[in-house]
């Protein structure tokens, strides 16, 4: 009980303005940290891993003071790991709490695996449609598909 | 603030895609029956009278970033016979793309001069991208191994002309079904017409799984076989031959074993249906013996000629010229 309380404290307390990303699978925590470029962040950052979770057993979380992520940032995260949770805090109040869902389209996030696709040979944005049921993404230009688990981010 | 480019970019993309849907022809795989019929009627009109002045004053640009003499000559003849003027290049070595100019810049530059761009490119998706960066219509004359809609259109026109219909036909595809983009495009375009496909190919070059999945999803009947004999082709309405290329094989022993198994000879035509026609996207190497050329079933040279009428129809369609405009032309 006490440890649960402490976990909760860690999650939201003492954050005046900022974002919390929770429900991170433990093996993905450092990938997420890297994608969010938290190593370059000069604001206070809290990174926790192997924390107890009733839902996941163990989980990771990151708490960043004074930072609000764009949808583009969050989409990048969702590609690597769906179903994480975002909490946005302003003036000590939770103003937004939601699942970081994988969008239906991925713009300029994913590299096409097809070497003869125009997107790999021209300075341009990539555009992928997501098939969540099949776990596939399809290049809008060359129409080749890739598995979500195999994709490379730009 | 949470301002992001994301939605702006999404909006921009949708706008571009909408623009593309207006005029350009990048793919015809998802065209409706009505649209296909409309283009077939238009091609028929041009076959009746190919020489016209309906494009007088228009400039057609043919940009061949990858050489393809046959397709280029066909498009240029189509434009010339409709009274348009033609500009363009036949070899990217002589253009600024060899100096490192992007496709976007080349397309935007040529868009200042021409009313329509016909383009061939070795990269997949190039035509779609080009259609998104310009306001003038693009006709895809082949983008890598991806799409080649004008070839599909002339195949459909050839089938329609020789069979009198596109409905309920037995279409036999022979040879390289793995890499042959013409068979893939034709397969998808025949979707609304209840065809039965026979895929005759060596194991290494069989129809890719994604197209078989496509057939299943669209309830298109297909049969796969490796034997290519007088008996196995007896029920064909259309025999669509393709070239088995040596460079496609990882195992050259396998190539040696199958290279002669998919050659059509005149003595294999004894049991075939009277209405059966042999199509081939050309050029052929040895997959159709020369003794077949004299058979009434041989249709590949007329098929190439049909390309002229099909391409005349495509050029007019992207320029907003209707079938009525063509019929009423004085």
Residues of A in contact with B124 (CB under 8 A): 114, 116-118, 141-144
DSSP, residue by residue, A63-105: EEET----HHHHHHHHHHSTTEEEEEEETTEEEEEEEEPPPSE
ipTM for this model: 0.85
Predicted pLDDT of residue B4: 44
In CATH, what number is assigned to the domain containing residue A145? 2.30.30.20
3-state class (DSSP) for residue A38? helix
- Residue A128 and residue A95 share a domain: no
Helix axes B5-22, A71-80, angle to 10 degrees: 80
Q: What angle do CA B69, B70, B75 make, to 5 degrees?
A: 100
In CATH, what number is assigned to the domain containing residue A57? 3.30.70.140
Q: Using CB atoms, which residue from B7, B102, B125 is nearest to A141?
A: B125
How far apart are the C-alpha atoms of A141 and B125, rounded to whole Å?
Answer: 4
Residues 6+ apart with CB under 8 A from B266: B289, B291, B292, B294, B295
Q: Is B70 a catalytic residue?
A: yes
Please list the alpha-helical segments (H only) found in chain A. 2-12, 29-35, 71-80
- Residue A90 and residue A72 share a domain: yes
Question: Tens of pLDDT along B285-298?
Answer: 889 999 999 999 99
Asked if A127 and B104 come within 8 Å (Cβ–Cβ), the reply is no
- Residue A94 and residue A116 share a domain: no
Backbone angles phi, psi at B109, to 5 degrees: -65, -50
Q: Which of A58, A75, A100 is the last residue of a domain?
A: A100
How many Å separate Cα A118 from the centre of its chain?
28
Q: Does A73 have pLDDT greater than 80?
A: yes
Predicted pLDDT of residue B245: 77
Residues B38-59, mean pLDDT to the nearest whole number: 96
Top-confidence range, B29-38, B156-165, B197-206, B260-269: B156-165
Average pLDDT over all residues of chain B: 90
- Residue A93 and residue A17 share a domain: yes
Predicted pLDDT of residue A1: 46
Residue A127's domain comprises 105-153
Walk me through the domains of chain B, giving residue ranges and CATH numbers: 13-148+308-324 (3.40.50.1370), 150-305 (3.40.50.1370)
Asked if A143 and B1 come within 8 Å (Cβ–Cβ), the reply is no
Question: Tens of pLDDT along B120-136?
Answer: 999 999 999 999 999 99
Q: Which of A57, A84, A100 is the last residue of a domain?
A: A100
Residues of B in contact with A118 (CB under 8 A): 103, 121, 123-126, 128-129, 143
Predicted pLDDT of residue B3: 38
- Residue A124 and residue A66 share a domain: no
How far apart are the C-alpha atoms of B306 and A72, rounded to whole Å?
Answer: 49
Domain count, chain A: 2
Question: Tens of pLDDT along B69-119?
Answer: 899 999 999 999 999 999 999 887 777 677 788 999 999 999 999 999 999
Residue listed under structure tokens 């495009």: B185
Predicted pLDDT of residue B59: 98
- Residue A76 and residue A50 share a domain: yes
- Residue A17 and residue A92 share a domain: yes
Quick one: tokens of A151? Answer: 């994709």
Q: Which of A85, A100, A115 is the last residue of a domain?
A: A100
- Residue A35 and residue A54 share a domain: yes
């Amino acid at each position: 009980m006490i440890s649960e309380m402490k976990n909760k404290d860690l999650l939201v307390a003492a954050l005046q303005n900022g974002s919390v990303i929770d429900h991170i699978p433990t093996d993905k925590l450092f990938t997420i940290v890297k994608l969010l470029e938290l190593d370059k962040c000069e604001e206070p950052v809290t990174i926790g891993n192997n924390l107890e979770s009733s839902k996941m057993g163990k989980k990771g979380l990151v708490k960043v003071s004074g930072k609000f992520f764009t949808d583009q940032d969050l989409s990048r995260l969702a590609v690597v790991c769906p179903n994480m949770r975002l909490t946005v805090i302003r003036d000590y109040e939770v103003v937004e709490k939601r699942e970081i869902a994988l969008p239906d389209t991925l713009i300029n996030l994913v590299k096409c695996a097809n070497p003869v696709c125009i997107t790999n040979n021209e300075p341009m944005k990539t555009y992928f449609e997501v098939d969540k049921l099949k776990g596939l993404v399809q290049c809008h230009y060359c129409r080749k598909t890739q598995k979500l688990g195999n994709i490379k981010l730009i | 603030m949470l301002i992001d480019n994301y939605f702006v970019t999404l909006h921009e993309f949708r706008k571009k895609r909408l623009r593309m849907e207006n005029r350009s022809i990048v793919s015809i795989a998802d065209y409706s029956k009505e649209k296909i019929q409309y283009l077939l009627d238009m091609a028929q009109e041009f076959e009746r009278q190919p020489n016209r002045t309906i494009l007088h004053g228009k400039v057609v640009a043919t940009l061949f970033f990858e050489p393809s003499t046959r397709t280029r000559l066909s498009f240029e003849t189509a434009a010339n016979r409709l009274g348009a003027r033609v500009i363009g290049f036949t070899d990217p070595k002589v253009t600024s793309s060899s100096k490192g100019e992007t496709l976007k810049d080349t397309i935007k530059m040529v868009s200042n001069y021409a009313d329509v761009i016909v383009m061939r490119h070795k990269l997949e998706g190039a035509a779609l991208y080009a259609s998104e960066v310009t306001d003038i219509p693009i006709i895809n004359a082949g983008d890598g191994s991806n799409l080649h809609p004008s070839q599909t259109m002339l195949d459909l026109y050839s089938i329609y002309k020789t069979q009198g219909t596109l409905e309920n036909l037995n279409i036999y595809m022979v040879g390289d079904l793995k890499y042959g983009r013409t068979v893939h495009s034709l397969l998808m375009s025949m979707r609304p017409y209840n065809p039965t496909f026979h895929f005759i190919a060596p194991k290494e070059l069989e129809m890719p799984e994604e197209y078989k999945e496509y057939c299943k999803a669209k309830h298109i009947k297909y049969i796969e076989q490796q034997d290519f004999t007088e008996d196995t082709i007896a029920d064909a309405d259309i025999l669509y031959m393709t070239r088995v290329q040596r460079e496609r094989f990882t195992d050259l022993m396998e190539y040696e074993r199958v290279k002669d198994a998919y050659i059509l000879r005149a003595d294999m035509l004894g049991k075939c249906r009277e209405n059966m026609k042999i199509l081939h996207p050309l050029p052929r190497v040895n997959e159709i013996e020369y003794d077949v050329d004299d058979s009434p079933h041989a249709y590949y040279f007329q098929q190439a000629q049909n390309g002229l009428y099909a391409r005349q129809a495509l050029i007019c369609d992207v320029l907003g010229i209707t079938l009525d405009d063509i019929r009423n032309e004085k």
